[in-house]
Amino acid sequence: MNLPLNAESKSDLLASPVVELRQYTLKPGRRETLIGVFDNQLIEGQETAGMTIIGQFRDLDRPDMFVWLRGFDGMEARKNALTAFYDGPVWAAWRDAANATMISSDNVLLLKPAWPSAGLDLSGSQRAVTPDFEKPTVSNDLQAIVVVRIHHLRPGLEAGFARDFQTGALPVLAALGARPLAAFITEHAENSFPRLPVRAGENVFISIAGFDSTEAHARHEAALAASPRWQAFEQTAQWEFARPMEVLRLAPTARSLLGQPTPA
């Protein structure tokens, strides 16, 4: 699942040319309820409708946030898949239970791969077959995590920043312990399913990386802070940022495709 460094690498195994990054603000204490409904009842129905449920996560720094990624074969395919699911029997049966946990579900970024080989390679991933509603791990020190960095850029700079990131930043991240998984930029096409809002007017570059534990991620961040190559990249890129970067530290649920531990 490592992100190819070569822009010419084959992309036929990469998932979803259109991806949604969805961040839900939940009512206090209701995250485990939503995860139970989502993992046990809502995954297969969405995939039958024509989408890929890439990953679903607990946000380690925000206890009332549920974060997930889903993908589509294109904007028209997105419209058709979402129509089929949200007008279908699975959502009708479980929407009240799911919606009862939420304060807001409108924090959604519509994305596309930042370069041809930058999408998610899910070819070796396996979802747990049996739904298993699990309690969160008491200690996250040894839990595999996914880290999403959201770079908010000035308008029109996504493609250039993506090129610079691929050549200047990605090798440094990999050398210092990250497992690069994907990179995305804003998909500026009109929302093909307006019943579900997305954040219009955004200009983002998003990198996704995997780590074997929160401790491994902390070591990585310390190494970045001490790296002259990383400092030089950040210094050069400062003028491109519209506002500070967001960092999401995410623990995959039991049935997430993305972010499970690397096989021994």
Tokens representing 180 are 């690069």
Place of tokens 């549920």: 66
| 129 located within any domain | no
In a domain, 236, yes or no: yes
* Confidence bin at 260 (pLDDT 50/70/90): confident
Is residue 8 a part of any domain in this protein? no
Beta carbons of 102 and 59 less than 8 angstroms apart: no
- For residue 253, give the DSSP letter: P
- Tokens 């993992």 belong to residue: 39
Question: Is 60 exceeded by the pLDDT of residue 263?
Answer: no
Judge whether 54 and 257 are in contact, CB under 8 Å.
Answer: yes
Judge whether 133 lies within some domain: no
Per-residue confidence (pLDDT) for residue 261, from 0 to 100? 62
The DSSP secondary-structure symbol of 239 reads: G
Phi, psi of 233 (to 5 degrees): -60, -45
Residue 187 C-alpha from the chain's centroid: 14
Q: Quick one: DSSP state of residue 4?
A: P
Domains: count for the chain: 1
pLDDT digits (tens, 9 = 90+) for 12-48: 446 799 999 999 999 999 999 999 999 999 999 999 9
User: Is 31 part of any domain?
Assistant: yes
The mean pLDDT of 83-97, rounded to a whole number, is 98
Residue 191 lies in a domain: yes
What's the CATH code of the domain at 26? 3.30.70.100
Which residue range(s) make up the domain with 38? 14-120+142-252
Report pLDDT digits (tens) over 112-138.
999 999 999 988 888 887 655 554 443
Residues 54 and 46 sit within 8 Å (Cβ to Cβ): no
Q: How many CB atoms lie within 10 A of CB 226?
A: 10
Q: Which residues pair with 18 in a beta bridge?
A: 72
pTM of the model: 0.91
Q: Do the beta carbons of residue 30 and residue 133 sit within 8 Å?
A: no
The reply to whether 3 falls in a domain is no
Q: What is the reported pLDDT for 259?
A: 87
Residue 225 belongs to a domain: yes
Question: Tell me: the pLDDT tens digits for 182-238?
Answer: 999 999 999 999 999 999 999 999 999 999 999 999 999 999 999 999 999 999 999
Give the mean pLDDT of the chain.
Answer: 91
